[in-house]
Amino acid sequence: MDRKPLTLHRLRELHATGEKLTMLTCYDAVFAQVLDNAGVEMLLIGDSLGMVLQGHDSTLPTTLEEMAYHTRCVARGNRSAWIVADLPFGSYHESLEQGVRSAVALMQAGAHMIKLEGGGWTSPLVRALVERGIPVCGHLGLTPQSVHALGGWRVQGRDHEAAATLKRHAQELAQAGAAMIVLELVPAALAREITAELPIPTIGIGAGAGCSGQVLVLHDMLDITPGRKPRFVRNFMEGAPSIEAAVRSYVSEVKAGRFPDDQLHSR
C-alpha cells in the first residue's frame, strides 16, 4: 500500500472528520511491514510483549531496554504507520527526569509517540514531555501495570465514583497535552461519554464502539494466542486467506463501525 507517512497532524485531521482510527500491537519488522501494507494507521509496541512474546503472566517484567529493542525492530519494517511505544513499568515512576530520559530512549529507537499508563500523577510528566516535543498517548481504565492494585483484569469505571475519576483523569491528560488516550476495559457508555467530551481521540480496547478508534493485541485477533481470549476479541483470521487479508478486514470493520460489538465488549 503506497501512502504518505502518517503524522500527528494527519491523525488529528482524520479524527476531526469522524473517521475511525486503527491501531494494532506490533513487536517486529516483518509484522510491521504487513500491518503497514494493510493500512493500519498506528503500530503499538506494547509492554504486552512481556506476556505475548516472553511468556510472563503480566507486563511488569518488561524492561525499557526490551522496549527500545522492539521499537527499533518495528521502525525498520515500517514505512508509513505512526509508531507508538509504551513506557514500561518502573521507567517513569521515580521522577520527571527519569520519565523524560526513558521517553527519549524510545524516541531515539524510532517511536513517534510514547504511551504511559495512569491518570492524576502522570499529568506533570505528560506536560513535561509535550513541552520537549514528545507526543504522548495516555492510557486509562484497566492499566495492566497496576493489575495487582486493581484486583485483576476487571472492567473499570462501573460505579459513579470510579467513572467520575476516569472522566477527570481523561480531562487532565488532555489539558496536559496528551494527543490521544487509550481506554481499556471501560463500560461502553462511559467510554462514549468520555470520547464525546474530549478534544482528542480515544482508542478503545474492550471499551465499545463509541471510541474514536480501536486497538487489539495482534496475536489475539490472529487467533495465535493460546487459551481463552477476552470476549471483545474477534478472530479475524477465520476465513481469511492470509494474515494481511485478516488485518485488512480488521481495518475495514473498524472504519465501518462494525467492530467492536458493544454487547460483547467486556467480560
Tell me the mean pLDDT in the region 56-75.
97
Mean pLDDT of the chain: 95
Provide the CB-side half-sphere exposure for 37 (13 A, CA).
12
pLDDT at residue 252 is higher than 90: yes
222-234 in b/e burial notation, b at 16+ Cβ within 10 A?
beeeeeebbebbb
The single-letter code of the amino acid at 98 is Q
Mean pLDDT, to the nearest integer, of 110-138?
A: 98
Q: Is there a binding annotation on residue 66?
A: no
91 is in an annotated binding site: no
C-alpha closest to that of 252 among 264, 244, 262: 244
pLDDT at 151 over 80: no
Which domains, from first to last, does the chain contain? 8-256 (3.20.20.60)
- Consult the annotation and say whether 28 binds a ligand: no
Any binding-site annotation on 238? no
115 is in an annotated binding site: yes
Active-site residue, from 65, 131, 184, 193: 184
pTM: 0.96
Residues 167, 148: Cα–Cα separation, whole Å: 22
Known catalytic membership, residue 184: yes
CA distance 251 to 35: 10
For residue 148, the model assigns a pLDDT of 79
Residue 167 has pLDDT above 80, yes or no: yes
Residue 261 pLDDT class (50, 70, 90 cuts): confident
Question: Model confidence at 267, in pLDDT bands (50, 70, 90)?
Answer: very low
Q: What is the distance between the alpha carbons of residues 267 and 261, in angstroms, rounded to a whole number?
A: 13
pLDDT at 263 over 90: no
User: Which pLDDT value is given to residue 264?
Assistant: 53
Phi-psi region of 95 (alpha: psi -120 to 50; beta: other; left: phi over 0): beta
Burial class (CB in 10 A: 0-12, 13-18, 19+), 263: exposed
Beta-strand runs (E) in the chain:
21-25, 42-45, 82-86, 113-115, 136-141, 180-184, 202-205, 213-216
